[in-house]
Structure 1
Amino acid sequence: MLGVRVLVAPDTFGSILTAREVAATVAAGWRDVAPADALDECPLADGGPGFVDTLHAALGGRLLPVTVPGPLGEPTPATLLLVDEPAGRTAYVESAQAVGLPLVPEDRRDPGRTTTRGVGALLVAARDAGARRVVVGLGGSSTNDAGAGMLVGAGLEVPAGLLDAGGGALGAVTAADLVGLRDLRARWRDVELVAATDVDVPLLGLTGASAGFAPQKGASPEQAQELERCLGSFAHAATTALADELRPDLLAGSRPTSAATRLTAAAGAGAAGGLGFGLALLGARVVPGGPFVADRVRLDERLAAADVVVTGEGRFDWQSLHGKVATEVAARALRHGIPTVVLAGEVQVGRRELSAAGITAAYAVGETPEEVRAALADPVATLRARAARVARTWSR
């Protein structure tokens, strides 16, 4: 009898397991109880951790090691993926390698101080390596500086410490301090910049960089509010400094605040602590990372050959519904008429939200505090065991 055709297409489980490790572990657990099923392992990424590794597996290319400033300024190793394409060389870089949350010890986490300067250094290294197009994966950051530090790392000339001291210092920045932004954009005009974001949130507001994400990076509620104010002030100063350099919004009329509103409210502007907004200031095109990666790993073609798809991530919560891997997989699976099963370390989304996202079922590796502790202590064994139980439900 023919077995079930299963596509295993997960993201990373935070910093615990890579997407490739998750896919292999889920496939192994599934085979434990359904050896006749055909499994296709398809690790994914959405712009956050694993972005370079996933694209390297799909596209090939050459990995170039570099060293850049980390979120607290210390030298940090990172990797560029260089792919020679018909239109020229493309460099793929992963912002999490320069500013990822695991790079900051828990007792030093402070999104008011961490900086994205290292991401600017990655851009410079990519250009120096001959890239005419640079795709930056955004996600998993320890930062909340709206990309201000990145602008310094990319070559913006400002007084020392003005923009690369973290988001907490941005409230005092004025448009006069940012007069060099025009020249910086001009110097990067010959390089196509693309920001592939892991979430579709705006820079400001209740789901923005500060209110939605700063707490998980170490901010208190009061600090998150102050960061919101600082990022709003910086956004106004930066868009005022660029003025007519920004593309006009024909629907917004001639209102002087329309450029700032358009850039801060754009989907993905709040990704990686507002790094999406900062890259847009530099002239980048901001795109959702999930679809970007899915297209390059031929996800639709692989879904068409499957009976069910299993996806997942470390924690499936409200953020997962804003542009993460699982929702992208579910949307595409729905078009192919196959069910989507989510397997995650923790599931914090209700059935109504799952159904609205096109997800058929979701299973947690750890459903009780004891199971969560066990999963953290031995993630491979517990994930494999959970995958085996899921297979008993979904295999013939």
Structure 2
Amino acid sequence: MRVVIALDSFKGSIGAAAACAALAQGWLAERPADEVLLRPMADGGEGTLDAVAAALPEARRMPVTVTGPAGRPVEASWLLLPDGTGVVELASTSGIELLAGELRPWDASTRGFGEAIAAALDGGARRLVLGIGSSASTDGGVGVLSALGLRFFGADGAPIPDGGRGLPEIVRTDAGSLRLPPSGGVTVLTDVRNPLLGPTGAAAVYGPQKGVRDVARAEAGLARVAEEAPQIDPSTPGAGAAGGTGFALLAWGARLVPGADEVAALVGLDASIAEASLVITGEGSFDPQSSAGKVPGFVREAAERAGIPAAIVAGRITGDADVSGFAAALSLSELAGSPAASLADPTRWLRAAGARLAAYRTQDE
């Protein structure tokens, strides 16, 4: 058999590459003669860089020190692919995990993400792929654009501070030093379709998750950012991603795409599935949203197109999740006896899940 393992990260527990490796170990312990292909997946959030690097060993990691979301230096990297594409991940430069639980609703910034993008341009990237999940801020992407040379000024003539606090005070911008996108274009990976403004926008939906209590003030700041780029429709799906970073990158000339689609193309998922006997996908929590733009739903659809059965392995599978399209479904929480036990040792239980799925397959044969 050829088995393709295409898991997303189990957020807060284990990365996609390590999760795929653990599941493969369990499978091969039961069926050592099978061919197992690892295709770690991501949707633009945490683990995107690692997923692409794991699938493309010829890619080069390029280290960079950037300004983290709390204003402190953060050691990160971007990825240079053989075709000149630069892959940059917001999660590792301006992500909420970097705050270690210390939410900073008004001064967390995406500046570090912009600094990493600038480093990729300086490093010769002819095309950019930008993952924008797991943001710590609601700064409308002003930090990104500031790092790329766009200047934002308040009524006193001074630059506004980093973060979302000063957004309502913007009175003028200066694009004289703004860097141009690379010749090959900019593709932005996102797993959300929220607009910039309104009840389903960045402030209303995601602001509270980042510590924002005064949603009206955050909304006013994002509305002011939108006024500075009237050529971009703030209702564009995905404009509200990463606290409005999606909107800022649209204004820079980027295009927004579903993250899982682009990562799948980068890692050659369809070609790997074409000759497979089984595809295994999964993520930390499989719920009704997992079928709409998330990795498991995307991989299941790819397997269906190829006429290949798919299985799902997740840290937990909620009672209202639709698993009807999968040949098998395993929850690590059930295998381990509790969510706490599975979170304490995800590698062990992913191995167990791999062995269980392999045993099922042997019985079917």
Provide TM-score, normalisation by structure 2.
0.87
The structure with more helix, counted as a fraction of residues: 1
The reply on whether 1:201 has 2:194 as its aligned counterpart is: yes
1:128, CA displacement in angstroms? 1.6
- Aligned counterpart in structure 1 of residue 169 of structure 2, from 146, 156, 173: 173
Task: Give the 3-state SS of the residue equivalent to 2:7 in structure 1.
Answer: coil
Q: What's 1:54 paired with?
A: 51
Relative to 1, partners in 2 of residues 1:203 and 1:392: Cα closer, same or farther, differing over 3 Å?
Answer: farther
Q: Is the 8 A contact 2:6 2:20 kept in 1?
A: yes
Moved over 6 A (4+): none
| Cα distance in 1 between the residues matched to 2:137 and 2:39 | 30
Q: Is the 8 A contact 1:268 1:288 kept in 2?
A: no
Q: What's 2:129 paired with?
A: 135
Q: 1:143-154 alignment to 2 at 5 Å?
A: 143-154=137-148
1:319, CA displacement in angstroms? 4.3
Q: What's 2:342 paired with?
A: 375
Relative to 1, partners in 2 of residues 1:22 and 1:189: Cα closer, same or farther, differing over 3 Å?
Answer: closer
Q: What's 1:346 paired with?
A: 316
Q: 1:1-396 alignment to 2 at 5 Å?
A: 4-59=1-56, 60-85=58-83, 89-106=84-101, 108-159=102-153, 162=160, 164-165=162-163, 167-170=164-167, 172-174=168-170, 176-177=171-172, 179-180=173-174, 182-183=175-176, 187-189=179-181, 191=183, 192-205=185-198, 207-219=200-212, 223=213, 226-227=214-215, 229-243=216-230, 246=231, 259=232, 262=233, 264-348=234-318, 350-351=320-321, 353-355=322-324, 358-367=325-334, 371-395=338-362, 396=364
| Cα distance in 2 between the residues matched to 1:127 and 1:120 | 11
Q: Which 5+ residue runs of structure 2 have no aligned equivalent?
A: none
1:17, CA displacement in angstroms? 1.6
For residues 277-321 of structure 1, give each alpha carbon's deviation from its aligned partner in whole angstroms, at most 9, with x where no partner exists: 221122211112211111121111111111221111122234433
Q: Which 5+ residue runs of structure 1 have no aligned equivalent?
A: 247-258
Provide TM-score, normalisation by structure 1.
0.81
For residues 72-125 of structure 1, give each alpha carbon's deviation from its aligned partner in whole angstroms, at most 9, with x where no partner exists: 01000111212353xxx332111111112221122x123333111111111211
| Cα distance in 1 between the residues matched to 2:107 and 2:20 | 36
1:202, CA displacement in angstroms? 3.0
1:384, CA displacement in angstroms? 1.6
| Cα distance in 1 between the residues matched to 2:55 and 2:6 | 13
Greater displacement, 307-316 / 192-201: 192-201
Q: Give identity over the alignment, percent.
A: 40
Relative to 1, partners in 2 of residues 1:20 and 1:194: Cα closer, same or farther, differing over 3 Å?
Answer: same
Amino acid paired to 1:328: F
Relative to 1, partners in 2 of residues 1:168 and 1:362: Cα closer, same or farther, differing over 3 Å?
Answer: farther
